[in-house]
Amino acid sequence: MAVSGMHLTRIGKGNFLLEPLRSMNIADQGRLMQEVVAQVRQGQGARLYYDLNGLPVIDPVYYDWLSNLARTCRIVNIEMICINMEPTAAFALSGFLSGKPEFATALAVPD
C-alpha cells in the first residue's frame, strides 16, 4: 500500500506491518499519521506492527512521532506494537522515558 516513506503491508487477518524507509519524513507526521490510519482502517486492521529493525537510536523526536502515531491509532481502536527494537535503541529510549510508552512492544510479529 502506498504511503510515502514507508511500506505498509497487510499480514494476516487484521494485522498490518509498517516498515519505515530512510526517506520517511517525520516532520510531516500529521499527513503520515492520517494516511497510515486511513489505510489500516480501510483494510479493517486492528493491530499495527511498527518494525524498528535497523534503527540504532530512538531520540525524543522519534519517540514523539511513535507516541503520536500510537495515540492516533488508539483513537480509532487500532493497537500499535513496536517490534524488533535494537538493543541500542532500547537503551537510548529507556534513558529518557519516565513512564510506560504509548505503544506496546514485542520481539517480533507473533507466529
Partner 1 sequence: MQKKETSEKLATLFSLKIGNISGQLEETGRAFFCADTMLMDEDEVADLSSEFVNLISGLLSAKEPAKRTIPQFHALEIFFSELAHRMLMRGGHVEDVVRYAQQLQYSLIAALERDSGVVFTQSRSVLLYFAQLFDELIMAIFRTYLGEREKTLKAQEMELRETSTPITEIWDGVLTLPIIGTLDSSRTMLVMEALLNRIAKDHARAVVMDLTGVRNIDSQVSHHLIQMVRAVQLMGADAIITGIHPEIARALVSLNIDLSGVTTRASLSDGLKEAFSRMGIQVSQKAG
**Contact stretch for partner 1 (CB under 8 A) within 7-15, 18-26, 27-35, 77-85:** 77-85
Of residues 103, 1, 13, 95, the one with CA closest to residue 51: 103
Task: For residue 100, state whether it binds partner 1 (rule: CB under 8 A).
Answer: yes
Task: For residue 59, state whether it binds partner 1 (rule: CB under 8 A).
Answer: no
**Contact stretch for partner 1 (CB under 8 A) within 13-21, 23-31, 36-44, 89-97:** 89-97
Choose between 38 and 106: whose C-beta lies nearer to partner 1.
106
Task: For residue 111, state whether it binds partner 1 (rule: CB under 8 A).
Answer: no
DSSP characters for 3-70?
ETTEEEEE-STTEEEEEE-TT--GGGHHHHHHHHHHHHHHTT-SEEEEE-TT-----HHHHHHHHHHH
Choose between 11 and 108: whose C-beta lies nearer to partner 1.
108
Task: For residue 99, state whether it binds partner 1 (rule: CB under 8 A).
Answer: yes
Q: Strands 6-10, 2-3: parallel, antiparallel or unpaired by DSSP?
A: antiparallel
CB atoms within 10 A of CB 19: 16
Q: Name the residues that contact partner 1, by CB under 8 A.
A: 82-83, 85-91, 93-95, 97, 99-101, 105-108
